[in-house]
Amino acid sequence: MDRLGVYIHIPFCARKCPYCDFYSTRYNKETVSLYVDSLIRNFRAFSLENGKKKIVSVYFGGGTPILLSPSQFDLLLSSLSECFSFSEDIEITTEANPSMSDKNKFSEYRKTGLNRISFGVQSFNETELRSLQRTHTAEGAIRAIENAYSAGFDNISADIMLGIPHQTKESLSSTLETAGDLPLSHISAYMLKIEEETPFNSDEIIKTLPDDDTTAELYLHTIETLEKKGFLQYEISNFAKKGRQSRHNLLYWESADYIGFGAAAHSCYLGSRFAVPSDIASFTQNSIQGKIITDENPCDFSEYAMLRLRLTEGLSLKDAEKRFSFDKETILHRAEKFRKAGLVNVSDDVISLTKNGFLVSNGIISDLVL
């Protein structure tokens, strides 16, 4: 039986953050209720042809999926399990905003089958949280993580942001130390990216961002600090305690199949990539969600290699040769100059990026495999 990941997009937020360009709209109870019904309708339609797939991971992303009530999660997960077979050790994650920190509510969420929670913490520094216009405080985020843990979530991730306006090595250190002392099993440390169509794309904000050298220093400092705290880097931006890598994200990086439900959800399934239109009204009004093909040949060698090189494990040319035909000697030859510069390791036909290599990963990866 084939394994499959399921992504469910919940495009509702209490309010829009000024740096975010994900598809989401303001929470509205009636619309959310219609949206949940539409998700269930789509699970059923999809399972008629594909019900034999074994689901190894379900991921609720957004938006702010924790705005759904425990009974809505219960309904979604029980409908999904009626339509598909769940693997025994299935990972079921929801993203969460740390402004919700009620322990009893976390217990209710845990009872629905959710077993992993990923908090959008971003920082434990109050000034940085205010500059991002987040609705939670540092103290609230600590309380949310501790309460989720005592309510039975033993697999908790936190997103930390690098390159926040006015961020320094000292302020980041303090955030990382706090994170390392909390009951977290996973940390994603992302660079703030200024997206074109967002209020953050303004001279006023851009002039407050750390410069390139400081940002590089922040990244290397993050890797070093988190390793000391027991979080090992396994991907450019992701760190985990032993055995706690995000199974869902690994499906993406290992080019496995996943199917997305909901407006703006993406899928990679049976050899093509496609997306649902970013339109809640059409999602709730149509009996079956729309499909826009975004890539008809997603699993060629270049894409496989690009995804593998994001992982610290790297790209095994021997494994790749079992699936693709490509010129191995050319790739090893191209890797040599990066090896001499300390940006990649090459050992037994496995190419992997070093910590300094991850800083300039886009350039190296495209030079090696495109």
Footprint of ligand SF4 on this chain (CB under 6 A)?
Answer: 13, 16-17, 20, 22, 24, 62-64, 97, 120
Query: For ligand SF4, which is the closer residue by CB, 13 or 335?
Result: 13
What is the strand order of the sheet 258-261 is part of?
232-235, 238-240, 186-191, 156-162, 116-122, 85-96, 54-62, 3-10, 258-261, 266-269, 272-275, 292-295
* Smallest gap from residue 98 Cβ to ligand SF4 (A): 10
Q: Are 174 and 225 in contact (CB under 8 A)?
A: no
Query: Shortest CA distance to 6 belongs to which of 35, 32, 39?
Result: 39
Query: For ligand SF4, which is the closer residue by CB, 62 or 357?
Result: 62
CB atoms within 10 A of CB 122: 24
* Smallest gap from residue 25 Cβ to ligand SF4 (A): 10
Query: For ligand SF4, which is the closer residue by CB, 200 or 304?
Result: 200
| Cis peptide bond upstream of 140, omega within 30 | no
Query: For ligand SF4, which is the closer residue by CB, 93 or 97?
Result: 97
* Smallest gap from residue 87 Cβ to ligand SF4 (A): 28
Query: For ligand SF4, which is the closer residue by CB, 13 or 368?
Result: 13
* Smallest gap from residue 24 Cβ to ligand SF4 (A): 5
* Smallest gap from residue 337 Cβ to ligand SF4 (A): 39
Query: For ligand SF4, which is the closer residue by CB, 17 or 179?
Result: 17
Residue located via tokens 């089958």 = 113
* Smallest gap from residue 271 Cβ to ligand SF4 (A): 30
